[in-house]
């Protein structure tokens, strides 16, 4: 089993600690980790080259391609971020922006529909929920149906070792519970695509059908056409 981890911070803080506890439940897995901003240090500048001309034209293609290859090869994607002003870290947002072209209305990777993902977020007081939502939003529009969420709130101190024994135990039990749920999955079988994901896809397909009819098909439309999605083929049908 392969796991791709994208850490929304390079800091070995509480998020890192919780992610390590999570991964301990996947001893035999082949794990590849990325740390942001180190592994994707630039912002999307809005050139729209990825949408219009292809992702290989992005100035950051070297970083994006490396991460994307690992994501596509993985069975489970783990994304982590502490809450920064109630949301995902800027580094994580910058990465998600770079993957805008993989959103369903554009050129979703069919492999994503088969995958599972987990989002691990925590904060001092408030903001973990909105942080995980930031990341889940992209994952779901990449086509992933099965997304597990861990939201934690420390409430007392920001250093793991300074948290009370009780608090550490509570957080550990909570993350282990989620990890066990995901460790029990048979990764030889693709994830089940939810009805809501299918509805989103069908809606995007209608738009692409209209574009095709209008005769101004661009890169995205060609992609949908070549995948057979404007016909009977669907990314969740194997």
Ligand X SMILES: Cc1cc2nc3c(=O)[nH]c(=O)nc-3n(C[C@H](O)[C@H](O)[C@H](O)COP(=O)(O)O)c2cc1C
Residue from 3, 5, 14, 96 binding ligand X (CB under 6 A)? 14
**Residues 149 to 168 in contact with ligand X, rule: CB under 6 A:** 154, 158
Task: Give the burial class of 10: count Cβ atoms within 10 A of its Cβ; 0-12 exposed, 13-18 middle, 19 or more buried.
Answer: middle
15, 140, 193, 197: residue in contact with ligand X (rule CB under 6 A): 15
Q: Which of 114, 140, 122, 125 is nearest to 199 (CA)?
A: 140
Closest Cα partner for 147 from 173, 116, 187?
A: 116
Bridge partners of residue 119, in order along the sequence: 79, 149
If one asks whether residue 122 binds ligand X (CB under 6 A), the answer comes out as: yes
User: Measuring CA to CA, which residue among 77, 26, 28 is closest to residue 184?
Assistant: 26
Nearer to ligand X, 94 or 104 (CB): 94
The single-letter DSSP state of residue 57 is G
Interacting residue with ligand X among 4, 77, 78, 83 (CB under 6 A):
83
Please say which residue, 41 or 125, places its beta carbon nearer to ligand X: 125
d(CA 50, CA 101): 6
- Shortest CB 89 distance to ligand X, Å: 8
Q: 72, 109, 124, 185: which one contacts ligand X (CB under 6 A)?
A: 124
Which parts of this chain interact with ligand X (CB under 6 A)? 9, 11, 13-16, 82-86, 122-127, 154, 158
């Amino acid at each position: 089993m392969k796991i791709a981890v994208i850490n929304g911070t390079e800091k070995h803080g509480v998020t890192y600690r919780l992610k390590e506890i999570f991964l301990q439940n996947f001893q035999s897995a082949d794990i590849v980790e990325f740390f942001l901003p180190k592994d994707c240090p630039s912002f999307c500048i809005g050139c729209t080259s990825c949408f219009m001309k292809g992702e290989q034209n992005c100035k950051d293609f070297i970083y994006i391609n490396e991460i994307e290859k690992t994501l596509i090869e993985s069975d489970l994607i783990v994304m982590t971020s502490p809450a920064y002003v109630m949301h995902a870290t800027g580094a994580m947002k910058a990465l998600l922006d770079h993957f805008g072209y993989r959103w369903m209305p554009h050129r979703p990777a069919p492999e994503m529909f088969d995958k599972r993902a987990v989002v691990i977020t925590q904060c001092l007081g408030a903001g973990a929920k909105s942080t995980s939502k930031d990341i889940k939003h992209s994952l779901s529009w990449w086509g992933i149906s099965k997304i597990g969420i861990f939201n934690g709130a420390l409430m007392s101190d920001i250093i793991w070792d300074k948290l009370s024994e009780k608090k550490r135990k509570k957080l550990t039990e909570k993350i282990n519970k989620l990890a066990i749920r995901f460790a029990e999955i048979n990764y030889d079988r693709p994830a089940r695509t939810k009805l809501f994901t299918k509805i989103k896809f069908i809606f995007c397909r209608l738009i692409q059908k209209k574009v095709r009819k209008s005769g101004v098909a661009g890169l995205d439309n060609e992609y949908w056409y070549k995948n057979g999605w404007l016909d009977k083929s669907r990314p969740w049908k194997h």
